[in-house]
Amino acid sequence: MADNAAGLWETPAAEALRFRPGMQIADLDSRSTPGFVSSKIDGKRALHERGTVLSSLQEKLYANGRSGDNRSVLLVLQGMDTAGKGGMVRHVIGHVDPQGVDHVAFGVPTDEEKRHHYLWRVTKALPRGGQLGVFDRSHYEDVLVVRVHGFVPETVWRGRYDEINQFEKELLGTGTTLVKVAMFVSLDEQKSRLQKRLERPDKYWKYNPGDVTERKLWPAYQDAYQAMLDKTSTEDAPWYVVPCDRKWYSRIAVTELLIDAFERLRLEWPEPDFDVDTEKRRLAES
Ligand code: AMP
Ligand code: MG
């Protein structure tokens, strides 16, 4: 990594967090800070500095998109309620120019969405060339909540892992770089975050009684997340497993994952489609 946030990481986030075959999320410590060797204060400071780096990379992608480049970056955020998906959008994506961001949050499918294949609404929401797409939940809900609740028969959701791999392969082929982030919060931390939502009037809106119901299904969700990682983490579209009990860590980590993805695109500023000297002369004479 070029400018690795001035030595705050001993292992780059993209390496430390990449899902490796055999990795068990049951063994994951959600309070851990893989790869990061400095303090919370340094982490918070780095978030702003690295957010600026992310912003200029994103601007370059946007500029290229305006010149017809079809490449895009798609951040997929998956995680249980309270894992911090919304905060990730506000505090990480918040650093970049909103014009260049295509943000979509996926909830319970609408009646119209239910009439279509589960990838229909996802396809419609894909980022255009030059854009940074952000999915707050995604097509993976169709092998997570849908699997846990048995909304479709097992034979159906089992077939979806291959289908999703194929879908993402085609996506990569059209110039989209995927950054898939699985956010893990512990059961205890989730409880305290839900408690806060019940204690503060400014947080009531985030509270959903259904979240407590889902807590009872925690082991089934763990299994579904493990299967998702085992079956859909591929060479070109790997999952990154991010411990999220410490918000400052998860935010700087995802910032670094995005910077890494953008840097791999080796973006340059687009060439002008006019003669600069001629235009300078014309402007001076005008
Ligand atoms: P939130 O992210 O808190 O706004 O909640 C969105 C809700 O939509 C979560 O409970 C998800 O499990 C649910 N959801 C998202 N996608 C699907 C889906 N494909 N089928 C059923 N529920 C879904
Ligand atoms: Mg919620």
pLDDT in tens, 53-103: 999 999 999 999 999 999 999 999 999 999 999 999 999 999 999 999 999
Q: What is the pTM of this model?
A: 0.96
What residues sit around ligand 2, an ion, with C-beta below 5 angstroms? 81, 208
Label residue 88 exposed, middle or buried (CB < 10 Å: 0-12, 13-18, 19+): buried
% of the chain beyond a pLDDT of 70: 98
DSSP-derived secondary structure letter, 118: T
Q: Using an 8 Å Cβ cutoff, are 266 and 260 in contact? A: no
Q: Can you spell out the DSSP letters for 232-248?
A: H--SSS-EEEEE-SSHH
Q: Is 152 in the pocket of ligand 1 (CB under 6 A)?
A: no
Report the alpha-carbon distance of residue 47 to residue 245 in Å, rounded.
17
188-202 average pLDDT score: 96
Predicted confidence (pLDDT) per residue in 230-247, tens digit: 999 999 999 999 999 999
Residue 4 reports pLDDT greater than 60 = no
Predicted local confidence at residue 147, as pLDDT: 98
| C-alpha of residue 51 to centroid of ligand 1, in Å | 29
And the tokens for 263?
């840097």
Report the alpha-carbon distance of residue 138 to residue 122 in Å, rounded.
7
Predicted local confidence at residue 6, as pLDDT: 65
Beta bridge partners of 241: 182
Index of the ligand 1 atom closest to the CA of residue 208: 3
Residue 3 reports pLDDT greater than 60 = no
Question: 269 in the Ramachandran plot: left (φ > 0), alpha (ψ -120 to 50) or beta?
Answer: beta
Residue 5 reports pLDDT greater than 80 = no
| C-alpha of residue 107 to centroid of ligand 2, in Å | 9
Q: Is 81 in the pocket of ligand 1 (CB under 6 A)?
A: yes
Structural domain boundaries in the chain: 3-266
Predicted local confidence at residue 164, as pLDDT: 98
| C-alpha of residue 80 to centroid of ligand 1, in Å | 10
Residue 52 reports pLDDT greater than 60 = yes
Q: Is 137 in the pocket of ligand 1 (CB under 6 A)?
A: yes
| C-alpha of residue 211 to centroid of ligand 2, in Å | 7
Residue 111 reports pLDDT greater than 60 = yes
Residue 2 reports pLDDT greater than 50 = no
| C-alpha of residue 214 to centroid of ligand 1, in Å | 11
**Which ligand number lies closest to the CA of residue 89?**
1
Q: Is 209 in the pocket of ligand 1 (CB under 6 A)?
A: no
Q: Is 256 in the pocket of ligand 1 (CB under 6 A)?
A: no
What's the fold here for domain 3-266? Rossmann fold (3.40.50)
Residue 205 reports pLDDT greater than 90 = yes
Indicate the average pLDDT of the chain.
96
